[in-house]
Amino acid sequence: MSKDPSLVRADSDSAHVQKGALSSHRVSNDVESSHVVLSEETTAVIDSAAEKALCRKFDLRLLPVLAVMYLFNALDKGNLGNAQTAGLSKGALITTDLNFQPGQYNQIVGIFFVPYVLFAPPLAMLGKKFGPARVLPLLMFCFGSFTLLNAATTNFGGIFALRWFLGIAESAFFPLVIYYQTTFYRRGELARRLAIFYAASNIANAFSGLLAFGVFQIKSNLVDHPWRWLFIVEGSVTVCFSMFAFFYLPRSAAEARFLNEEEKALAYRRIQVDSSSVVNEKFNLKESLKIFKRPTTYGFLIIEICLGVPLQAVSLFLPQIVQRLVSDTVTINLYTVAPNITGAVMLLILAFTSDGLRIRFPFVCLGFAFTFIGFIIYAALPDVHAQIQVAYFATFMMCWGTSAPSVLLSTWYNNNVAHEGERLTLTSVGVPLANLMGLVASYSFQEKDAPKYAPALITTACFGAVGCLVAGSLGLFMLWDNQRRNRRQGVKLTAKDVPTLQLRDGPRVEEFRWFL
């Protein structure tokens, strides 16, 4: 089987760069010289105009499709909240719709996260083996089918089982999308692209309110309850789009039909020097698990835990939070639109700024601060109707604070792991861990605390405060460690000065610098 000529050139060039890097590092002890060599190494393959044109192609060909896929992912995961406002369970009344007993709504919300955590790592590893471009559409087809089947449920047991399988199907979706994008974009380009992609989640939350508003107006004798139409519409469109995505997404830049040979070689070299130590490396479980030998890994996972509670609280319970401000179902869903839209806007602002400055942790801390302030304000208001503008503004801050940290945190630790297997493993554990905190959110928002939900709001605010503290501490440690390494080597380097092809072993490499 012949090898793609662009890859032959890229492999040869990459080997030349790596050999030159090691030899120049051994021969030269001059401080200024060593800095220049590393900097030239990182920028040697860069043609600014060609790179911009290449990124535009990726942006136009990949991002819209991935964003739509994630939009349906978020819709299918979060449509339960909209169905609840239309009478899916009606709280503790056992004679309505699916005849839920008290507390069973929280159970079907919470059960989703158990398989979500358990199956994310193995499914993500399969995605690495067979390619995200093929596995992602298959996962989408599955969670679309399970959403569609929700429309046929007649009791608690049926919808409980479907939520379990939905959790399996959605578990590896976000980690695989993040990994897939790291094979096309450099580290300094990643946050804004992930933000555009993740903004689909905010738009989905907003659109779900509008969609629910429209669906609940359907007057038809074909179904017995209007919320069934919500599952029918969202599930069927998801299944159809997954079929398109399966044949559209390229397996890699080397197989992208919309690139010529020169662009394929450039795409390979970009990732070799500023994303991966070995591009498209075969997955090795033993090597990938070495990521858990790094102490900073556990700092990132603690931040994911702190992020998960407010993130899932807003995603799953914003309609119930807003229900304190208004009473009728239609207005509740419409009131969730604006906060989610501004959440997407804030996400894009912070992500573009973060990429421009090539720094992550201050913006992660800022997002957690928004979360803390928003939930505290809303919990502290004794009469939201007397100060409805302040209360509604607090819901905006909740959405600002949950959107940005999710993207920037994933980008932050992906930027600091050059080994593709380790990067995927950390993402496939960290993202589901954050989603597992949906259990905390689902059992914090108890029906007996409605409509104020004071214990849940205070709990969520506390997780935001702790997340801000841990993210700030980890960022300051990385800043100190970079300075310590510079003093010890007598140089002044940052993460952008060191090509990732040298960083397979992470912080154990002397030239390693943290991407702050």
The answer to whether residues 361 and 470 touch, using CB atoms and an 8 Å cutoff, is: no
Q: Evaluate if residue 19 carries a pLDDT over 80.
A: no
Which of these, 121, 89, 82, lies nearest to 108 by C-alpha position? 89
The answer to whether residues 233 and 215 touch, using CB atoms and an 8 Å cutoff, is: yes
Rounded to an integer, what distance in angstroms lies between the CA atom of residue 266 and that of residue 254?
A: 10
The answer to whether residues 336 and 322 touch, using CB atoms and an 8 Å cutoff, is: yes
Q: What confidence tens digit (pLDDT) does each residue in 313-371 have?
A: 988 788 888 888 887 766 777 888 889 888 888 989 999 999 999 999 999 999 999 99
Give the C-alpha distances (Å, rounded to integers) separating 133 from 29, 129, 139, 176, 344. Answer: 45, 11, 11, 9, 25
Q: Evaluate if residue 20 carries a pLDDT over 80.
A: no
pLDDT of residue 91: 38
The answer to whether residues 65 and 248 touch, using CB atoms and an 8 Å cutoff, is: yes
Q: How far apart are the first and last CA of the chain?
A: 43
Rounded to an integer, what distance in angstroms lies between the CA atom of residue 420 and that of residue 278?
A: 7
Q: What confidence tens digit (pLDDT) does each residue in 65-119 have?
A: 998 898 888 887 777 766 666 545 443 332 256 677 777 777 887 888 889 889 9
- Range scoring the smallest mean pLDDT among 155-169, 213-227, 239-253: 213-227
Give me the amino acid identity at 434: A
pLDDT of residue 3: 40
The token pair at 282 is: 């075969």
pLDDT of residue 402: 86
How many beta carbons lie within 10 A of that of residue 5, not counting itself? 11
- The residue whose two tokens read 């503004």 is 393
The answer to whether residues 184 and 58 touch, using CB atoms and an 8 Å cutoff, is: yes
Give the C-alpha distances (Å, rounded to integers) separating 408 from 163, 193, 235, 413, 471. Answer: 28, 11, 30, 9, 11
Helix (H) or strand (E) holding 236: helix 227-248
Model confidence, pTM: 0.79
Angle at 270 between CA 264 and CA 271, to 5 degrees: 95
Rounded to an integer, what distance in angstroms lies between the CA atom of residue 365 and that of residue 440?
A: 22
Q: What confidence tens digit (pLDDT) does each residue in 386-436 have?
A: 888 899 999 999 999 887 888 899 999 999 999 999 999 999 999 889 888
Angle at 214 between CA 212 and CA 217, to 5 degrees: 105
For 436-445, b/e burial (b = at least 16 CB within 10 A) is bbbbbbbebb
How many beta carbons lie within 10 A of that of residue 186, not counting itself? 20
Residue 236: partners with Cβ closer than 8 Å, 6 or more residues away: 144, 148
Which of these, 227, 299, 279, 235, lies nearest to 80 by C-alpha position? 227
